[in-house]
Amino acid sequence: MSHQIHIIGGGMAGSEAAWQLARRGFRVRLSEMRGSGETTAAHQGDGLAELVCSNSFRSDDDEKNAVGLLHHEMRRCDSLIMAAADKARVPAGSALAVDRDVFSAAVEAALAQLPNIEVVRERVDTLPGEGMAIVATGPLTAPALAGSIGQATGADALAFFDAIAPIVYRDSIDMDICWMASRWDKASGPESTGKDYINCPMDKDQYLAFHQGLIDGEKTEFKEWEANTPYFDGCMPIEVMAQRGVETLRFGPMKPVGLDNPRTGRWPYAVVQLRQDNKLGTLWNMVGFQTKLKHAEQVRLFRTIPGLENAEFARLGGLHRNTFIHSPTLLDRQLRLKSSPNIRFAGQITGCEGYVESASIGMLAGLMAASELAGRDWTPPPVTSALGALLSHITGDAEAQTYQPMNVNFGLFPPVDPSVKKKSRKEAYTARGKADFTPWLETLAPDLPTAP
């Protein structure tokens, strides 16, 4: 099949871009390295849109949360990633968490139903010299292609470390010690019970010993090419957080607030939470426990956590390096490479952080390319929307000198009316965003349809 556009990378962004283009009738070649005998340091399989870190898309609350608003906007644009996530949803309180295997299979099945998508398992080593293309190779871009990108941009890629959290088998957790609860018993979503997390309690002595164990534990040795690479605060290894102070974890991933231990009627000194990782409920991941501890050290230390004394791990934590480009200086407002405007970039390689953010930029890249192929002018989403705020940050509003990966947040949005009371500002952001987003959807019609 001859193609009108070449998408390089079958992750979240590439899959979403392919969906948006193909469902509008354009012929797409989707190149994915995994499955050709190649893989990355973080992926486990060959499935499209594989989740390699957490299984959570974070908050699904679209009334007072920026990422929840992004969920809402993507669903309205008929996002494949959001449809697959809804299909693969597992209980996680107010968060949208998914079964990894069900999610990836849903993405693959949807793309396979579109006859104008050709999925090719191949490694692409150079940027296309001609023809429209979208590069969505993610933060683990293969070295040869990364070198080609460097030559085309004339700038070095930034880099940071990203750590993966362990996954525990449910039947190895001691529920005589742990209990099920969401913070403040808050339920969200049709499958939520308000008791969506497994909570492992710690008293003060246990916490202090565990904290010291994180600091003293043997860490993964850095390779030469990883030296002096900064961490991203949104996915920081737990032992690095521990080094920031003895109380840091108690105000972060081990926060006990709102979690009453039914055996004592009180909040513990600290809590380790586990979140369901698959629909069967057999796998649970340790929330916020991204780590670069060596595997044997992880097993030893994590089994000191009350309730995890006999824990069996389906996956231990790991560490890989992520790379991204200086998007504010290199890309135009339509995500095109200024030096080669036939090429767009999408996903985490642009410097957005998070599954949903990556997919959303892939979605926008697909919509932009569709408009261009159709000969239509492109109207960007309003900056008061989550899509518009994130796009503006990536393509020019961020300070290039200090540009770092960013999750969507209300700090990227134009301020709301200062007369709005502080406790109501989040609702004001989302209400304004929804109101401004609806007219923008009409700019995609008639030949660029949207979901009802």
Asked if residue 164 lies in contact with residue 53, where contact means CB atoms within 8 angstroms, the answer is yes
pLDDT confidence of residue 52: 82
Is 14 within any annotated ligand binding site? Answer: yes
From residue 232, alpha-carbon distances to 40, 179, 321, 358, 401 in Å are 20, 32, 11, 15, 16
What average pLDDT does range 238-247 have in this prediction? 95
Backbone angles phi and psi of 444, in degrees to 5:
-85, -15
* Confidence (pLDDT) at 127: 93
Confidence of residue 41 (pLDDT cuts 50, 70, 90): low
Residue with the bigger pLDDT between 406 and 57: it is 57
Model confidence band, residue 451 (pLDDT cutoffs 50, 70, 90): very low
Q: E strands along 79-148, which residues?
A: 89-90, 95-98, 117-121, 132-135
315: CB partners within 8 A, 6+ apart: 44, 164, 166, 167
pLDDT score for 279: 79
147 or 114, which is more confident? 114
Work out the average pLDDT over 131-153: 88
Q: What's the CA angle centered on 331, arms 49 and 393, to 5 degrees? A: 75
Residue (of 342, 346, 377) closest to 132 by Cα position: 342
Domain limits, the chain: 5-157+325-442, 163-321
* Residue 252 annotated as lining a ligand binding site: no
Q: Is 9 annotated as a binding residue?
A: yes
Look up the CATH superfamily of 5-157+325-442: FAD/NAD(P)-binding domain (3.50.50.60)
Q: Which fold has domain 163-321?
A: Elongation Factor Tu (Ef-tu); domain 3 (2.40.30)
Q: Is the pLDDT of residue 450 over 60?
A: no
154 band by pLDDT with thresholds 50, 70 and 90? confident
User: Is position 147 annotated in a ligand binding site?
Assistant: no
* Higher-pLDDT residue of 19, 36: 19
Q: What is the structure's pLDDT at 452?
A: 40
91: nearest Cα among 281, 355, 313, 283 = 281
181-227 pLDDT, tens digit per residue, is 999 887 656 666 778 999 999 999 999 999 999 999 998 876 655 66
Q: What is the arithmetic mean of pLDDT over 425-442? A: 95
Beta carbons within 10 angstroms of residue 174's beta carbon: 13
Q: What is residue 155's predicted lDDT score, i.e. its pLDDT?
A: 66
The verdict on whether residue 213 carries a ligand-binding annotation is no
CA–CA dist 252, 247 (Å, integer): 9
Is 13 annotated to bind a ligand? Reply is yes
Q: What is the mean pLDDT of residues 145-160?
A: 80
Q: What pLDDT score does 301 carry?
A: 97
pLDDT digits (tens, 9 = 90+) for 345-380: 999 999 898 899 999 999 999 999 999 999 999 999
pLDDT above 60 (res 16): yes
Please tell me whether the overall predicted TM-score, pTM, comes out greater than 0.95 for this model: no
